[in-house]
């Protein structure tokens, strides 16, 4: 197929290398334009100082610079893409719009609307798999069904990859870059929109030194590779540099998942990467598992994967609101929980182990609806991804696929003693507790003292809350 011209619509794929839609458009077309739309339907609900907008803004600047170096240019719009993309396609007179799949229900509806508008104008719409290795119904059980348990899904995923390693092959851009449409007259002088023009202010992203864009992802990946062998153990300790810290880059596609998986698979094939490499790969497979679950079960947005769990009666009323506010603000009286919430509120990041601990505490110690916690994380996490966030919260609430049993209730004190035994993480975010001993810091209310400590007593007692949770969850056994 040869088209006169096409338009590549960047979304969750903010890079100019190993990019499926861009590669395919360059293969198919004589001239290729690129566009990114700051989606007003999404941005309208965000705070003015949003780290994710800051991250996107910096990453888009790098994409624009890279395209310019290759002889092309990036068109940027601030609008509703459902209207802006068909309008821009008409303005440019392109034959087709290319993009990469987005698996969220609202995104699917948006893309369907865009495709319909384009076709009404006689233009084509093409979408490709890019942000995952396997998608939708590519990994099925032996009977052709959709998996609901992770381990058999992971085994089938690995078996499929072994059978067809070509899915990791890169999609090269530079050899075809001559087909990128050059900037129209005067376009190079037109600056990208500022944060202020988008209605935002700088966040503390730069202060936290979070690397942005393609170069930032590459920097973090190179930093993580020498540490991947120790990932299996190091990942559980929030005061240790164990994770890759790449989650925000996965979210916005500033890296190539094919390149990362290819690198890790090669490490494992050579007997390198220790015990950590396969564990890290399994975490990527969890990401694809949750994306697959969301695609096949859109009801999980707002509802339990297991509908029986929607019958649970959560705490409501003024007292419940006070408990929820204390959790949000890190005033629960449980240091590990409060330090984790402080980390989230101050940085937009939370260690994965602590995501489980804080979620379980909200749901099973405070009796608050998991959807409220999911929504809070969605607003504050730099790496917010609907599928993974929803999957994690449903796991913690026991309402999801392959979730922890409802009677498994994390004890925030023992979790603290096990995973932050010296209190290093707690002291970082709760400096008022810095003078307590390593033993005392996990449960300050048990420490005899002459003067009151500048720290609240527990808002609930864990043992009593556990009994109430077992009673609350009894409804799912009926």
Separation of first and last alpha carbons in the chain: 59
Query: Could you tell me if 328 and 470 lie in one domain?
Result: yes
**Angle made by CA atoms 149, 154, 159, in degrees to the nearest 5:** 135
Residue that terminates a domain, selected from 130, 153, 183 = 130
**Whether 137 contacts 146, CB under 8 Å:** yes
Whether 302 maps to a domain, the answer reads: no
Query: Could you tell me if 238 and 331 lie in one domain?
Result: no
Whether 225 maps to a domain, the answer reads: yes
**Whether 345 contacts 15, CB under 8 Å:** no
Whether 146 maps to a domain, the answer reads: yes
Query: Could you tell me if 448 and 358 lie in one domain?
Result: yes
Query: Could you tell me if 28 and 85 lie in one domain?
Result: yes
Whether 177 maps to a domain, the answer reads: no
The predicted pLDDT at position 189 comes to 53
Query: Could you tell me if 465 and 428 lie in one domain?
Result: yes
The predicted pLDDT at position 452 comes to 73
**Whether 473 contacts 363, CB under 8 Å:** no
Domain total of the chain: 3
Write down the number of H helices and E strands in the chain.
19, 5
CATH assignment of the domain containing 427: 1.10.579.10
**Whether 207 contacts 222, CB under 8 Å:** no
Q: How far apart are CA 452 and CA 399, in angstroms?
A: 40
**Whether 207 contacts 256, CB under 8 Å:** no
Whether 460 maps to a domain, the answer reads: yes
Query: Could you tell me if 259 and 313 lie in one domain?
Result: no
Whether 116 maps to a domain, the answer reads: yes
Radius of gyration of the chain (CA): 24
- Sort residue 109 into left (φ over 0), alpha (ψ -120 to 50) or beta: alpha
Query: Could you tell me if 121 and 164 lie in one domain?
Result: no
Q: Residue 407 belongs to what domain range?
A: 307-477
Question: Whole-model pTM?
Answer: 0.95
Sign of CA dihedral 401, 406, 412, 413: negative
Sign of CA dihedral 426, 430, 435, 436: negative
Please count the residues of the chain: 478
Whether 182 maps to a domain, the answer reads: no
- Sort residue 366 into left (φ over 0), alpha (ψ -120 to 50) or beta: alpha
Whether 470 maps to a domain, the answer reads: yes
Give the CA dihedral 117, 118, 120, 121, nearest 10 degrees.
130
Query: Could you tell me if 314 and 456 lie in one domain?
Result: yes
**Whether 54 contacts 203, CB under 8 Å:** yes
Catalytic residue positions, numbered: 283, 286, 314, 352, 370, 393
> How many CA atoms within 13 Å lie on the side-chain side of 389?
25
Query: Could you tell me if 451 and 395 lie in one domain?
Result: yes
Query: Could you tell me if 33 and 126 lie in one domain?
Result: yes
Structure tokens at 2: 């040869």
Query: Could you tell me if 145 and 270 lie in one domain?
Result: yes
The predicted pLDDT at position 453 comes to 87
Residue that terminates a domain, selected from 263, 296, 329 = 296
**Whether 63 contacts 72, CB under 8 Å:** no
Instruction: State the residue for tokens 């809350």.
Output: 465
Compute mean pLDDT per 10 residues along the chain, 478 residues long, and list them. 94 98 98 98 94 98 97 96 98 98 97 98 98 98 95 97 97 97 71 95 93 98 97 97 97 98 96 96 98 96 95 96 98 98 98 97 98 98 97 95 84 98 98 95 89 89 94 84
Q: How far apart are CA 381 and CA 393, in angstroms?
A: 13
Q: How far apart are CA 361 and CA 334, in angstroms?
A: 10
The predicted pLDDT at position 476 comes to 87
């Amino acid at each position: 197929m040869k088209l006169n011209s096409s338009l590549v619509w960047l979304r969750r794929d903010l890079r100019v290398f190993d990019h499926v839609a861009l590669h395919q458009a360059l293969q198919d077309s004589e001239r290729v334009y690129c566009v990114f739309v700051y989606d007003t339907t999404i941005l309208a609900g965000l705070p003015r100082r949003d780290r994710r907008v800051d991250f996107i803004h910096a990453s888009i600047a790098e994409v624009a610079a890279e395209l310019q170096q290759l002889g092309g240019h990036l068109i940027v719009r601030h609008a509703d893409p459902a209207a802006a993309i068909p309008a821009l396609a008409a303005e440019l007179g392109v034959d087709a719009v290319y993009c990469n799949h987005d698996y969220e229900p609202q995104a699917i509806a948006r893309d369907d609307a865009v495709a319909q508008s384009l076709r009404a104008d006689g233009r084509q719409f093409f979408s490709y798999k890019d942000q995952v290795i396997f998608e939708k119904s590519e990994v099925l059980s032996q009977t052709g069904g959709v998996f609901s348990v992770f381990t058999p899904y992971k085994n089938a995923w690995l078996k499929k990859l072994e059978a067809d390693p070509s899915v990791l092959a890169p999609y090269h851009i530079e050899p075809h870059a001559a087909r990128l449409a050059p900037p129209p007259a005067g376009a190079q002088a037109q600056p990208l929109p500022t944060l202020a023009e988008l209605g935002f202010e700088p966040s503390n992203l730069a202060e936290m030194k979070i690397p942005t864009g393609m170069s930032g992802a590459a920097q973090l990946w190179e930093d993580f590779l020498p540490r991947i062998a120790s990932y299996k153990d190091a990942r559980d300790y929030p005061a240790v540099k164990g994770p890759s810290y790449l989650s925000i880059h996965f979210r916005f596609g500033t890296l190539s998942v094919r390149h990362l998986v290819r690198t890790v698979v090669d490490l494992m094939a050579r007997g390198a990467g220790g015990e950590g490499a396969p564990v890290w790969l399994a975490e990527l497979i969890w990401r694809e598992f949750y994306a697959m679950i969301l695609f096949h079960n859109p009801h999980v947005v707002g509802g339990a994967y297991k509908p029986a769990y929607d019958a649970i009666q959560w705490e409501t009323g003024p007292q419940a609101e006070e408990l929820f506010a204390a959790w949000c603000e890190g005033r629960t009286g449980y240091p590990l929980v409060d330090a984790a919430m402080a980390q989230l509120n101050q940085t937009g990041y939370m260690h994965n182990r602590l995501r489980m601990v804080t979620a379980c505490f909200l749901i099973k110690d405070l009796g608050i609806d998991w959807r409220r916690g999911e929504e809070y994380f969605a607003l504050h996490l730099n790496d917010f991804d609907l599928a993974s966030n929803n999957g994690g919260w449903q796991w913690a609430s026991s309402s999801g696929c392959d979730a922890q049993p409802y009677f498994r209730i994390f004890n925030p004190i023992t979790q603290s003693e096990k995973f932050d035994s010296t209190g290093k993480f707690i002291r970082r975010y709760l400096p008022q507790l810095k003078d307590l001993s390593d033993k005392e810091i996990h449960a300050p209310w048990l420490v005899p003292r002459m003067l009151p400590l500048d720290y609240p007593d527990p808002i609930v007692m864990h043992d009593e809350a556990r009994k109430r949770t077992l009673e609350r969850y009894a409804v799912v056994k009926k």
